[in-house]
Amino acid sequence: ADLDLQAIHDEMVAVAYQAGVMILAANPADIDTDTKLNSVDIVTETDKGVEKMVSARLSTAFPNISFMGEETYKPGMKIGPEPTFVCDPIDGTTNFVHSFPSACISLGLAVDRHPAIGVIYNPWQDLLYTAIHGKGAFLTRARGAEPQRLPLAKSPRPLEGLGNSLVAVEWGSTRDGPNFDLKVDVFRRLAGSHETGGSMVHSLRSLGSAALNIAAVAAGQLDMYWEGGCWAWDVCAGWCLLEEAGGRMAHGNPGNWDPELEARMYLAVRGAPSGQKEIVEEFWKVMGDGKLD
């Protein structure tokens, strides 16, 4: 049956606002110590409670749509071609725990394993990002305000190479082994001066939430965002925004222009009249022969 993407989107927005109320009312100190991979891979009672509310509400409204969420994911689960909600109840849990006001609910709908709707809501700043495939991407800065189309600039500048760009990266929760070493090398090669063999990007940023990094790229506030180690729920919603804002999602490992929702490695590039392909290839050169697992 044909999906009414607008109706699904509207319910997802209502759910995201309810999640925002829960997140702001929560106690970030309720850290769940059982489920941690290591001491920096943090889960709180709020992550679990919000996901429960989201899945209950969405499955009541749309019983035929599948659901995948970070807190109920089990290894081996895959997103199939059938319509599937993909939810990170709090993307940026580390920020949440530290009361650093950069975290959000990230709620996507995948159809045929591709993002079709994206809803991202940061309750501390009351920033709502939304997109429906084929209908554009929008930022609503305060509840009830007029949505602004993304990218925010009327005529985005061309991308003029890594040296002129502001690039988001994240440390993630892997802090040893070859993946850690490669990340550190890439950060160094991006930031270092030409004398050090680096690209001397304007600077590196970390918003601490994959979804908010991608949303900022879609808005044109960042030129790129690279991370190895993301999950489908970190990227599904943002990816829809990015495409609708003229941006491009490439694989974070060199050579793959068509990443999948479960690729784990991503390079998001903002919309621009020229330079997208070139800047991705320049980035892949920075990675050299290194590949993240």
Residues annotated as binding site for Mg(2+)?
70, 88, 90-91, 234
Catalytic residue among 51, 234, 243, 244: 234
DSSP strand pairing (224-228 vs 265-269): antiparallel
Residues 66-105 that bind ligand IPD (CB under 6 A): 70, 88, 90-93
Whichever of 91 and 272 has its CB closer to ligand IPD, that residue is 91
Active site residue 91: yes
Start-to-end CA span in the chain (Å): 38
Q: Report, in Å, the least distance between residue 184 CB and ligand IPD.
A: 14
Q: Is the peptide bond before 151 cis (omega within 30 degrees of 0)?
A: yes
Establish how many alpha carbons lie within 13 A of residue 280's alpha carbon, considering only the half-sphere containing its beta carbon: 22
Question: What's the CA gap between 93 and 80, in Å, rounded?
Answer: 27
- CA 243 to chain CA mean position, Å: 13
For ligand IPD, the closer CB: 203 or 274: 203
CA distance 176 to 160: 34
Taking CB positions, which residue lies at the least distance from ligand IPD?
170
Of the residues 51, 71, 88, 227, only one is catalytic, namely 88
Residues in the chain: 293
What residues numbered 162-181 form the site for ligand IPD, per CB under 6 A?
170, 172
Buried b (16+ CB within 10 A) or exposed e, 211-239: bbbbbbbbbbbbbbbbbbbbbbbbbbbbb
Identified binder of ligand IPD from the candidate list 122, 209, 221, 253, rule CB under 6 A: 209
Name the active-site residue from 47, 51, 71, 91. 91
For ligand IPD, give the closer residue by CB, 88 or 275. Answer: 88
Beta bridge partners of 110: 84, 115
What backbone phi and psi angles, to 5 degrees, belong to 272? -160, 150
Window of 25-33, 55-63, 142-150, 203-211 that interacts with ligand IPD by CB under 6 A: 203-211
253 scored as a contact of ligand IPD (CB under 6 A): no
**Position among 54, 87, 230, 265 found at the interface with ligand IPD (CB under 6 A):** 230
User: Which 35-54 positions form the footprint of ligand IPD (CB under 6 A)?
Assistant: none
- Which residues would be at the binding site for ligand IPD (CB under 6 A)? 70, 88, 90-93, 170, 172, 208-210, 227, 229-230, 234
